[in-house]
Structures are given as structure tokens and as C-alpha cells.
Structure 1
Amino acid sequence: MYGIVLILVLVITGGIIAVIGDRMGTKIGKKRLSLFGLRPRHTSTIVTIVTGVVITTLTFFILAAASENVRTALFGMEKLNRSMQQTEEKLKSASEDLTAARAEQSRADAALAELKDSVRSMEEEAERLAAGNRALAEQKDALARDNAALDGMNRSLTAENTALDAANETLLASNAQLADDKATLEKRTQELRRGIELIREGDIVYRAGEVIAAGVIKGNRPENEVRVDINALAQLASRNVSAHLGKDLPDGEIWVYAPEVDDAVGRIAKASHDMVVRIVAASNLVRGEAVRAALDLHPNSIVYRKGEFIIAQSYILKNRGGKQASEEIVMDFLKRVNAAASAHGILPDPIRGTVGVIDAQQIYDIVEKIEPLSGTIVLSAYAHDDTDALGPLRLDIKIERESQ
């Protein structure tokens, strides 16, 4: 709106000045006035020019007075151009700075993205490390338990090493003993070669496997005590051999392989129960030769209590079968008792296979009782005393008629 008013003012002002100039030129022309000695026509032209100049000057003056922009355009254009140039340069610099800033922002965004990726990686790594720390803590606890177990094993191994050292010393002593035994065996081998010929023609005192002496030795005791008992049993065997030969040793000298004795001592010392130990002839004993024996070990326990039933068997007698039939019945029954007792745990004699003792008088009395009977009878056997595995088994035999 301001520009329209300014234009109207300029138009009106220019029109007024033009009218005034026209009228002045007309008057000058009519009056034929002359300026500066010029012709009237030239003077009129000059007035017209002056009028135009005045119009233009007044126009610029009004515009300059009315608008700062006009004043700036008229008088400060060069400054404005310099300012615009500086502004353009600043704008260009700002644009370059903006471009650089955007590039820097892009780099910063990329760096930020990389940093975020790094942060995620670090968080994942931290989680892995935390899991690793937990696993290490568990492993540490397991290692602590393992170390405790290993300490216990070390202590156990130390004790075992001590025991092994003691065993090694024992083995060294045993090796020395074995060396001595080897020399003795070589000597015995020569004697055995000569003994083979004697066995064929000589007087056999004990057969191979025959019991020379037997006894019960308590288990779960120190080895030295067990060894004393075995030596005592060996002395008993020597006395039995001497009595059998009718003269004192050395003809009946007892010889047992030393490692076999050591093994028997160790087994009995560790046993939680008593052991039956029988010294048996290792080979046929010829009169005049040393007794080569072996040790036979068996766990001992009470097999039959006093009065305990062993076996019963029925027999049929036909019209008083007589003494021979009665004896056959008794012998058959004793064989059955022997088999039952052996199966029950009493050790039989290695040569005869018997487990008990019964004298001729007892057999005779039983035969006498059976002989007059007829029909079906039942023989029953009972233990006369408490009897262990070593035996011998002594019997009480009852004779009953079977009820019809």
C-alpha cells in the first residue's frame, strides 16, 4: 500500500511540475524572453530541460526522502554490493561449513553407529565374560572339592606307600628266603630223584593227601600269634609222624614250603572267623625220608549241635534177615550218614572219605538190636556232641519200627 501511495504522489508531483514548466515555457515564448542572451526558442527549450531536471530531481528527492531503500540504492549501492558480496561469501562459507558439518555429522553418525555396535559387542562380551566368570567360579568350587579329594588320596597314597615300603622290605626278606629255598629245593630235587626209586619198592608210611595233623586256629589276630599256632600244629604233626614211625625225628622231619606258610598266616590273620588247618602229606612218604607236607585251610563253624538230627532212612526186614543182612543195613546207613554230613560241611578224610568215628562195639550193639526185628524199620542219626567242620562226627543212632 505504501508503494502505491508513493507512485501516486510522484505522478501527481510530476504532472504539476510539468504543467508549471509548460506554462512558464509558454509565457517565455509569448513574451519572447531570453536567458543568457539566447533566442527565445532556445530559452524555451532550456526551460523545458530545467523543468524535466527539476521533475527528475524532485522525484529522486521525494523517493530518497520517502524510502530508505531508495536512498540506499542511490547512495549506498556500492556499499550494498560490497555487503552483498561479503554476505554471499559468508553464505558460501556457511554453506561450505554446513556441508562440512553435515559430512562431519554423517561421520559422527557412522561413528555413533559403530560405537553402538561396539557397545552391543562389549555388552555381549561382558555377558560372555560374566558367564565365563560363573563357569570359572563353578570350576573353582569343583577344583576345590577335587583338591580336597586329592589331598585325601595323597594321604591315602602316602599311607599306602609306607605300607608298600614295609611290604618291599618284607619282599626283600622273602627274596632272600626264596634264594635259600631254591638252594634247598635243588637239594631236595636230588633227594626226590632217589626217592622215586624208593617209592616203588620202599615202605610207604603216609600216602599223598593223608592228614598228618589238624587243628582249629583263631582268625583275626596278629600274624605273629597265628604263626606260633601253626608252628605248634607242625610240632604236633612231627610227634604224630614220630609215633607212626616208632622213632624220633629227624627221620620224620616236617618240611613245608615257606611261602605257603606265609600265605596261610596272612589268610588266617585277616579272616573274621576261625580256620581249620590240616597238615597233609604232599606226596607218598617213604620210611627214612623227610616229610614233605602242605597246608589245607577251610573256614570253621559249628555244623551240628549236640542232639541235632542228621538223617533218617527206612529199611524192610523180611522174616529176621539174620546177622549178615543186619550188618549190611548198618553199613549202608553209615555211608548215607557220611554223605549227608559231608554235604552239610564236615570235612571228610582225604584218603578214606569218612567224617565220623564209630567203634566196633557200637556197631555190634546196633546189629544185635536189628537182627531180631522184621517188617519196616527206621534208622535215625543224631550228633552226639557239638561238631565243627574239623570233626570227627560221633553219632547217636536210634532204631524205630515204622507205624503201619
Structure 2
Amino acid sequence: MTSAYILIAAILVLGAVIATLGDRIGTKVGKARLSLFNLRPRKTATLVTIITGSLISASTLGILFATSESLREGVFQLDNILKKLRIARGEVDIINAEKFQVENELTQAQTQLKDLSAQGSVLRSEINSLLKERQVLNKQKKQLSQQISQLKSQVVQRDQELAEKNQELSQRNQELEEKNQELSQRNQEIAEQKQIIAQGENRLKEVEQQLNGARDEISQLETRRQTLEQELDGAKSEIAQLETRRQELEQELDGARGEIAQLETRRQTLEQELDGARGEITQLETRRQELEQELDGAKSEI
């Protein structure tokens, strides 16, 4: 903190000294009416003042940069610092997102843990019920063991009975062999009968073939009959159509005859009117002749 005060004081003192020197130099330049770079004295004094101010600023910045490393980094590495800051903020956002995701997963895990706890309690109750069922099954197992021992004794008795049955079965097998011999003889007789039946079946097949041929001919004749019936039906329909057309033509002929009668009546009427008109024309012709005679008489009189 003390070094900062000393630095500020040194900057102020240095600025005051440089300003004083600049003012003195400017005053002397103005009084002496000196000229730099072919400028007027007033402009030369202004130039000296500008140079003095630039020196003040340069010395101030030089002192600050020389004494403060953080200021140098802040001025010259500001872009890098801002870039790093943006990257750090992005990483912070990513970390926050991951944190949020982890919190969600933790919440889900806690929920699943609660569900598993509930399922565990259910499983415990089921295990208790299964243990009870196991005890019941053990009791039933003991009862079944007793029943099995009883059944074994019954099986021994049944084995003895089975041995007796086997003896009876052997006797029955001997009887069955005798029956098989008789059956073989019967089979030979049946084979002979089958040969006779086969001959009869062959004959029956021949008859059936002949019958099938006759059936085919009958089916062909039936098909021909159906075709002729269809043609007959077509002819009947054509005859019906022609009859209908004949009736229509007769009706048209009757209508034409009526029209002819009407026209004949009209013709007679017109002839009568024509005769009347001719009579009137004759009368008019006679009247015309009379008028001509009268006209001739009048002309002769004139």
C-alpha cells in the first residue's frame, strides 16, 4: 500500500517537473521566437507543449508499466485474459450442467433407492410367506414319505401278483400261437378268396370303363342338347322380338291409315272449297264480261 502511494507521488512530481520544464522551454522558445521545422514561433511553442505533454504521458505509462506487472499484463495481454475468461466461463457452465445432471442422477438414484427399499420390504414379506410355505411343504413331505413307504409295500404285493399274471400270460401266449397257426390257415383261404375277388374287381373295372365311356357319350349328348336348347331359346327370343316389331309396325300402319283418312277428308274439303272458289271465279268472270260490255257500251255512247 505504501509503495502505491510513493508511486502516485512520484508520478505527480514527475508530471509537475516535466510540465514546468515544458512551460519554461515553451516560454523561452516564444520569447526567443525560435522556429523548428520552418514553423512559426507560436506553432513552435505549441509543438513544444505537445511534446512536453507526450513526455508526461510516456513517463507516466513507463513508470506504471515498470513498477506494476499486473498493469502490464492487463494492458498487453487483455485479449488473452478475456479469452481465458470466456473459456473459464464456458468450463464453469459445463461444470454447472454436469453438476445439474449429477444432481438429477443423484435424485433418480435416491428415488430408485426408495423404490428398492420398498421392494426389499415386499421381498421380505414374500420370503416370510415362502418360509411358512416351506414349513407346510416339509409337513406334506413327511406325509408323502409315509405314503411312499405304504405304496412300496403295495408295489411288492403287486409284483407278486404280476409274476402270477406273467405265468398266466405265458400260457395264454401258447394258446395264442395255436390260434395264430389257425389264423395263418384262414389267411391262406382268405388270400384265395381275395384272388377271386380281384378277378371280379378287374371285370368290374372293365364294366365301369365301358360305363364311363357311355357316360361320356351321354354327357356329350347332354351338352349338345343344352346347346340346341340355348339356340332354340335364342330363336324364340328373336321371334318374340320380330313379333313385337310386327305389332309396332301394325300400330304405325294403323296410325298412318288414320292420317291418310284424315288427309283424304282434308283433300275432299279442299276440293269442295276449290269448286266453290271456281264457281266464284266463274261468277267474277261473268261479272267482268258484263262490266266490259257495259264499258264498251259506255265507250260507244261517248
Q: Same fold (TM over 0.5)?
A: no
TM-score scaled to structure 2, two decimals?
A: 0.44
Task: Name the one with the larger helix percent.
Answer: 2
TM-score scaled to structure 1, two decimals?
A: 0.34
The higher relative CO (CA closer than 8 Å, separation ≥ 6) is in 1
Task: Name the one with the larger strand percent.
Answer: 1
